[in-house]
Amino acid sequence: MLASVASLVLSLASSAAPADFDATFTGKTLRFDYYHSGTAAEEFVSLDQVRLEGDWPGSRTHLLDGTNLGKYLFVIVDPATNQPLYSRGFASIFGEWETTGEAKKIWRTYQESLRFPEPKKSFQVVLKKRAADGSFREIYSALVDPLGRFVNRSAITPRGQGFALFESGPPPTKVDLLVLGEGYTTTEGNKFKSDVSRLVGVMFDTEPYKSHRNDFNVRAIQVPSAQSGISNPRKGVWRDSPLGLSFNAFDSDRYVLTYANSAIREIAAQLPYDALIIVFNDRKYGGGGIFNLYATCASDTEPSAYVFVHEFGHSFAGLADEYYTSQVSYETLAPEGSEPWEPNITALTDPKNVKWRDLVAPSTPIPTPWNQASFDRASLEYQDKRQKMLAEEASEDAMEALFREVKEVTTPMLQSEKYFGKVGAFEGAAYQAKGLYRPEADCIMFTRNPTTFCKVCSRAIERVIRLYAE
């Protein structure tokens, strides 16, 4: 009697467990490439190709994404049982572009990729988009037969030079971070190596990465460019570089993205990866980061290492910018009054239940008072100066001197806040001075001053590390 109850409990437990990896998947990686087209008002998804990559580098246990991050979510479904086999949240260039002014006027198309372990049997790809209330709604689905003739199974063409910075263990139980080099010529291979080791070194001196170094493998690939540097349209500088990286994404001077998704995927597929950072060989300040896509970072600026860590916060953990005093050309936010999905900002519609409430001490008021007016005065003065200098095409050295000045003024200002170092809800976050709140007075996602993430960002990063490393 006792034995039969025990076996019943066991069978219930196993039926609720995620799919058995080896029974369900081949162990290879499949890539679903598609075109995401539209305007601010409508969007369409169309198949490009299904592509076989190498061994699956991701987790074999965390197959379903429970983090609830991202503007989009894709789910691989078994059509025979309608059970989800694999899912991941993500954001995309289209998802940012559709909030820009240009999307109100013209149509555009961006290529995107979904990567997942290759199922042994036919499966359904379901793409969902987050609605204003925070729930996901299906926008596209397709049936794929992995055994059919329409899966591109050609070998990945070797390109460039790949190497490991450090390896801690087998890819399925580690975060596999792949750094791609852009704008380095054949004679600048050693510069790429030293840039990468410097930037990765700072990242792993920063918590929570420092304590989790053993959860990571870090590798790099450099495909040589014909010329040094990347495209800079506002200066008339154009480069036909292998990854297609350029300044001035969405007409924002220092925002660096590439639309050459296919090129990136084919180069990256040479080594195992869960996360991508592109380091570009340039003296001009810039970068970018999109959740579950990639981060970009200039190699040769004074704050390069800071930018590397900040932008990877966006692309790896879905962190929002906590700053609000400088302008961007896109809106990544939930509609007014609804709660953003990013883990480190809140609309505070229910102050008693702020989403990081377990980190708030009972003695810290919500919202948390801080001297926003004096911080804003100093920031606006600096923004005016910066705009003037940009208009006058000031040198990178002069801009960096201004960055240092701002740091010297705002660091003591923020550190003297009564609730500095405490988790609360500080008004002013994600490009809005009012109505959005950040967790601490300062954070790597707020200013260039600190060398630490706030406790909420740090915990959000650790959660994503576990998604890949367990």
Residues that bind Zn ion (CB under 5 A): 344, 443, 445, 454, 457
Nearer residue to Zn ion within complex by CB, 279 or 443: 443
Buried residues in 150-174 as b, exposed as e (16+ CB within 10 A): ebeeeebeeebebeebeeeeebbeb
Residue with tokens 């970009």: 296
Residue closer to Zn ion (CB basis): 119 or 450: 450
Q: Which is nearer to Zn ion, 414 or 443 (CB)?
A: 443
Q: How far is the CB of 345 from Zn ion (least distance, A)?
A: 9
Positions of E strands within 158-293: 161-166, 175-182, 216-222, 275-280, 287-290
| Sign of the CA dihedral running 330, 334, 337, 340 | negative
Q: Which residue has the tokens 């539209």?
A: 38
- Residue 288: phi and psi, rounded to 5, are -175, 165
Residue 172 Cβ vs Zn ion, minimum distance, rounded to whole Å:
30
**In the complex, what is the shortest distance from the CB of residue 353 to Zn ion, in angstroms, rounded to a whole number?**
19
The phi and psi torsions of 373 (rounded to 5 degrees) equal -60, -45
Question: How far is residue 325's CA from residue 375's CA, in Å, rounded to a whole number?
Answer: 10
CB of 313 to Zn ion, least distance (A): 8
Report H helices in 138-243.
Answer: 189-203
Query: Which of 69, 254, 250, 269 shows the shortest CA–CA distance to 162?
Result: 269
Residue 351 is given by DSSP the state: G
Residue with smaller CB distance to Zn ion, 196 or 345: 345
At its nearest, how many Å lie between Zn ion and the CB of residue 257?
A: 23
- We find the least distance from the C-beta atom of residue 294 to Zn ion, in angstroms, to be 21
Q: How far is the CB of 438 from Zn ion (least distance, A)?
A: 6
Residue 248 or 452 having the CB closest to Zn ion: 452
Shortest Cβ distance from residue 371 to Zn ion (Å)? 19
Are the C-beta atoms of 111 and 123 separated by less than 8 Å?
Answer: no
Contact 325, 373 (CB under 8 A): no
Nearer to Zn ion, 165 or 202 (CB): 202
Of 344 and 447, which has the nearer Cβ to Zn ion? 344
Exposure letters 99-127 (e unless 16+ CB within 10 A, then b):
bbeebeeeebebbbbbbbbbbeeebbbbb
168 vs 452, which CB is nearer to Zn ion?
452
Instruction: Choose between 38 and 367: whose C-beta lies nearer to Zn ion.
Output: 367
Closest to Zn ion by CB, 58 or 450: 450
Find the helix packing angle between 189-203 and 304-317, rounded to 10°: 70
- Shortest distance in whole angstroms from residue 409 CB to Zn ion: 21
- Residue closer to Zn ion by CB (options 280, 291) is 291
| The 216-222 sheet, strands edge to edge | 161-166, 216-222, 175-182, 275-280, 294-298, 287-290
Rounded CA gap, 375 and 15, in Å? Answer: 55
What are the phi and psi torsion angles at 90 (to 5°)? -160, 170
Work out how close the CB of 308 gets to Zn ion at its nearest, in angstroms, rounded to a whole number: 16
| Pairing mode, strands 161-166 and 175-182 | unpaired
In angstroms, give the least distance from the CB of 320 to Zn ion: 9
User: Residue 87 in contact with residue 117, Cβ under 8 Å?
Assistant: no
Contact criterion met (CB below 8 Å) for 313 and 336: no
